[in-house]
Amino acid sequence: KQEVTQIPAALSVPEGENLVLNCSFTDSAIYNLQWFRQDPGKGLTSLLLIQSSQREQTSGRLNASLDKSSGRSTLYIAASQPGDSATYLCAERGSARQLTFGSGTQLTVLP
Amino acid sequence: DAGVIQSPRHEVTEMGQEVTLRCKPISGHDYLFWYRQTMMRGLELLIYFNNNVPIDDSGMPEDRFSAKMPNASFSTLKIQPSEPRDSAVYFCASSLIATEAFFGQGTRLTVV
């Protein structure tokens, strides 16, 4: 059974800091990996998708990387802002094509 | 496209009643997922469909839960009878095989 782990569970940083969120997965036959953002009481918003053949994807201040050999992905947020405060979830699209989520990292950016 | 549409947004029902949650996926998407989210267990995959066919329903917690996808533009998740422990936010998502999955806004279910 696929497992996805996110560490840390919570993170608090001062505004302006660069930060890295971690995601690890067990399925070596990963198809793609997706990062989402969830604000309190809201749905999930897609941030970045990395196909298994790719090493990284960038969107604005966000950069996501994928290392299949180590079973890891990272989400890098540059110059963090209070508006970045949310829960960030990674999800692996596995060999059976289902989407398995980690438990998320709750990020707080302090002004 | 209006995105993935779920209804109702909120549902409050009494224990023992039947509850039906509805989902309209993005047009053209051939994968549809149903998830349940709680504080204790996070996001749990309940069932997913490919081309309207259920592929894996191993996440459905009990026989009280059932899901159907009669056509490419509509799916339902039914709970009968409902219990207080079913209270959660239920999400529907859709995608193509190689593209991003998009989520609906969810249905917040409260069973009293």
Q: Is the pLDDT of residue B38 over 80?
A: yes
Is pLDDT of A89 > 80? Answer: yes
Res A97: pLDDT: 85
Is pLDDT at B95 greater than 80 in this prediction?
Answer: yes
Burial of B112 (0-12, 13-18, 19+ CB in 10 A): exposed
Tell me which chain B residues have a C-beta less than 8 angstroms from the C-beta of A36: 103
pLDDT beyond 80 at B66: yes
Q: What is the pLDDT of residue B103?
A: 96
CA–CA separation, B66 and B63 (whole Å): 7
Contact (CB<8Å) A101/B42: yes
Q: Which of A30, A32, A44 to mutate to test the interface with B (most CBs of B within 10 A)?
A: A44
Does B98 contact A51 at a Cβ distance shorter than 8 Å? yes
Residue A1 predicted with pLDDT over 80:
no
Rounded average pLDDT over B71-87: 97
H or E segment to which residue A73 belongs: strand A72-77
Q: What is the mean pLDDT of chain A?
A: 94
A98: which chain B residues are within 8 Å (Cβ-Cβ)? 33, 45, 48, 55-56
| CB-based contact B21:B107 (threshold 8 Å) | yes
Give the model's pLDDT for residue A94. Answer: 86
Give the distance from residue A46's alpha carbon to the nearest chain B alpha carbon, in angstroms: 7
**How big is the A-B interface in CB pairs under 8 Å?**
52
Asked if B1 contacts B26 with a C-beta cutoff of 8 angstroms, the reply is yes
Indicate the residue of A34, A42, A96 with minimum beta-carbon distance to B101. Answer: A34
The pLDDT value recorded for residue B62 is 85
Do B105 and A51 count as a contact with CB atoms less than 8 A apart?
A: no
Res. A95 pLDDT band, cuts 50 70 90 = confident
Mean pLDDT value of segment B54-82: 95
Would the pLDDT of B85 be above 80?
A: yes
Query: What pLDDT, on a 0 to 100 scale, did the predictor assign at position A106?
Result: 97
Average pLDDT, chain B: 95
Q: Is the dihedral of CA B83, B71, B23, B102 positive or negative?
A: positive
* CA atoms of A88 and A20, how far apart (whole Å): 11
A44 close to B (CB below 8 A): yes
Residue B85 DSSP code? G
The whole-angstrom separation of Cα A49 and Cα A32 is: 7
What does the pLDDT average to over B58-84?
95
Q: Do B45 and A32 touch (CB under 8 A)?
A: no
Nearest CA in chain A to B102: A46
